[in-house]
A and B are shown apart, each in its own frame.
Chain A
Amino acid sequence: MTNLSPFDIQARPNRLLAQALSCLLFVVCIGLYMHTSIARHRENPEDRVVPNGHQLVAGIRSAEEDDYIAPDNASTWERLRHSMIWKDTASSGGRFFISLALLIPFVVLAVHIGLFPWFGAGFLRFFLFFDKIVALSLLPILFIAFGIDQWSKIALIVIGVAPTMILDVTQMVKAVPQEQIVKAFTLDANNFDVAYRVVFRQVLPQVINSLRLNLKPMMLFLFAGEMIAASDGLAYRIAIMRRHMGMDVILPYVLWVALLLFLIDFSLRVINRRLHPWFQA
């Protein structure tokens, strides 16, 4: 067999090479960061813009300590439970998951819009228009309506993501072959059976995938709300640290948020694969 060029569509790297290639950009990024950090620290040992390893560890430690003074024999878990990063994660996570739960009724509504012509006639154009409203422009209105507590941020996330998800799920429902719906009716299914036992079951894996794609926009809206007005939360901490040039805290927070999103996405992917083996085919 002839050796194909790496730029050939038909060329496939072996498994080991593929894994090495997927790690390459991570290594390059870390290398570039370290190189920049070392260069800047050579000029100014107190540089805080690109913190070195020691500064990052100190930053994470400081993020672990809020106003709570841990006893000397306190366990790591106890220290973590009283840390800033834990409290901020709990606050932001609470808002995030409440928003996620509030999206469920909109998914159900989308199934009805896609399936029942009367619902479609009533709701579809409204959401097509509503989707074009820039959610962040509504933030002042939300602050006035809900105050600056967590409900304004939750409302921002829901208003920002729900119309897109509704339109997405509506398209998924419309894509379910008409034969399936007709077949279900010939098997004596009623409207409820067709909506939930046939169509919803079939689009559920795609809904989960759509949710996975919307994780980042959801976090984006949450960060926007928390950066403008909040007393706790991951974005609030980053915004506070920005004033103090606290890159040693900001960088671990950014990586922590990315890791959390990655884990949620990974969990949803695994759940989807386990629950819907037929969808992978």
Chain B
Amino acid sequence: MVSGMSTPEMTAGLHLIGGQATRAAVGAEEQAHAQAAKSISIEDVSVSYALERSARRCVLENVSLEIEEGEFVVLLGETGCGKSTLLRMLLGQERPTAGQISVAGSRVERVDARSGYVPQRYSLFPDRTVLDNLMMGPLTSQFHILGRMRPSYWAARHAVRVEAFRQLTHMGLQASDAGKYPYQLSGGMQQRVAIAQALMMKNRVLLMDEAFSALDPATRSSLQRLLRSVWSETRPTVVFVTHNTAEALFLGTRLIVLARESKDDACGSRVALDMKLADGGMTLRSHGQQFLDLVEHVEAASCGQRRAALDVCNNGSSVTRPASESAEDGELP
């Protein structure tokens, strides 16, 4: 976890003592501090599945990423490029064939409560009302089945209920929606509740798998704005899978495009583009031609034709593309 000692204190310590061992200790602490700032670490991960006649289909190949705390990372790519596979591995639902994944400082072995999850479909429990859906996480984590007989359960339940109503209104829903079942809600309302359900757990990592793909454009747009504002308030680390470039550029502070270099089964997807945006994301209205250039660039990368690393300042004036156009041999600069 995060070390209690800040960097200036460490530097002061170095000046005062100056011993070799202390330097090493402080160095280790600095390393731990840097590690803690990394919310998600993906190290050289490859995934392949067995096909008939001992052949294998490689989905991901040597993917390495470091995602820092508070980043809004959008995973982009064509259908079948392994975006959802990577997200399932972050969740712990699947294991990589090679490499390792850490979330919140520890290795992912199974699905647990480290990350919140909002899938595209079946995001709510159909047999529970909206309120029960929201309350389920906190109550389950505090009280397992026999714990509900304890007197403290009712006090805790009341507090969770108050928080659930707060989240509900925060997501733009009415208090009267609390008693409804998911089938009585529209797709957009269901996804709002699903986001609130994940936020109720106060996770520092939120994983969203094409969460807005099944929605109409107007609802999608309003949910995108909602998600941006929710993220701006609490700054969780978000990994958002989509194949919509405009959505990715609007939401993300960092875009990662996965793409294959050939359609050969033996060749898996790699990181074709790793691009940092500033916190505000990009919008068509505010950035005009720059936005369109980026869309073109990102979509070209998703075809696996080129790789680039871009640093884009969000003030609309500077776009830096270090050696991106000349990286013909496939190596990142």
Judge whether B201 and A186 touch: CB under 8 Å: yes
Q: A177-B122, A180-B122, A276-B127 are in contact. Are A186 and B116 (CB under 8 A)?
A: yes
> Does B214 make an interface contact (CB < 8 A)?
no
Judge whether B122 and A193 touch: CB under 8 Å: no
Q: Which residues of A176-205 are within 8 A (CB) of B?
A: 177-180, 182-190, 192-193, 196-198, 201-202
Within 8 Å by CB of B121, from A179, A188, A281, lies A179
- Complex CA gap A279/B126 in Å reads 8
- Complex CA gap A198/B119 in Å reads 17
Q: Mark B114-143, 1 if CB is under 8 A from A, else 0.
A: 011101011101110000000011001100
Q: A183-B123, A186-B91, A276-B127 are in contact. Are A193 and B113 (CB under 8 A)?
A: no
Judge whether B93 and A192 touch: CB under 8 Å: no
Q: A187-B137, A188-B201 are in contact. Are A179 and B119 (CB under 8 A)?
A: yes
Tell me how far the C-beta of A18 lies from the nearest C-beta in chain B, rounded to whole angstroms: 27
> Does A71 make an interface contact (CB < 8 A)?
no
CB neighbours (8 Å) of B141 from chain A are 187-188
- Complex CA gap A197/B133 in Å reads 12
Q: A187-B140, A277-B181 are in contact. Are A193 and B145 (CB under 8 A)?
A: yes
Judge whether B113 and A192 touch: CB under 8 Å: no
Tell me how far the C-beta of B96 lies from the nearest C-beta in chain A, rounded to whole angstroms: 17
Tell me how far the C-beta of A121 lies from the nearest C-beta in chain B, rounded to whole angstroms: 18
CB neighbours (8 Å) of B263 from chain A are none
CB neighbours (8 Å) of A198 from chain B are 125
CB neighbours (8 Å) of B145 from chain A are 192-193, 196-197
CB neighbours (8 Å) of B278 from chain A are none
> Does B183 make an interface contact (CB < 8 A)?
yes
> Does B197 make an interface contact (CB < 8 A)?
yes
Name the residue on A nearest B119 (C-beta): A179
Tell me how far the C-beta of A115 lies from the nearest C-beta in chain B, rounded to whole angstroms: 14
CB neighbours (8 Å) of A26 from chain B are none
Judge whether B144 and A192 touch: CB under 8 Å: yes
Judge whether A188 and B181 touch: CB under 8 Å: no
Residue of A180, A201, A278 with most partner-chain B CB within 10 A: A278
CB neighbours (8 Å) of B284 from chain A are none
Within 8 Å by CB of A186, from B112, B121, B126, B183, lies B112
Tell me how far the C-beta of A111 lies from the nearest C-beta in chain B, rounded to whole angstroms: 15
A-B contact pairs, 22 of them (CB 8 A): A177-B121, A182-B93, A183-B119, A183-B123, A184-B125, A187-B113, A187-B141, A188-B137, A188-B141, A189-B140, A193-B140, A193-B144, A196-B145, A198-B125, A201-B125, A201-B127, A202-B126, A276-B127, A278-B127, A278-B181, A278-B182, A278-B183
Binding site for A on B (CB under 8 A): 91, 93, 110-113, 115-117, 119, 121-123, 125-127, 136-137, 140-141, 144-145, 181-184, 197-198, 201, 203
Task: Please list the 8 inter-chain residue pairs (A to B) with the smallest Cβ-Cβ separation, ordered nearest first.
Answer: A188-B141, A187-B137, A188-B113, A185-B111, A281-B183, A177-B122, A179-B119, A179-B122
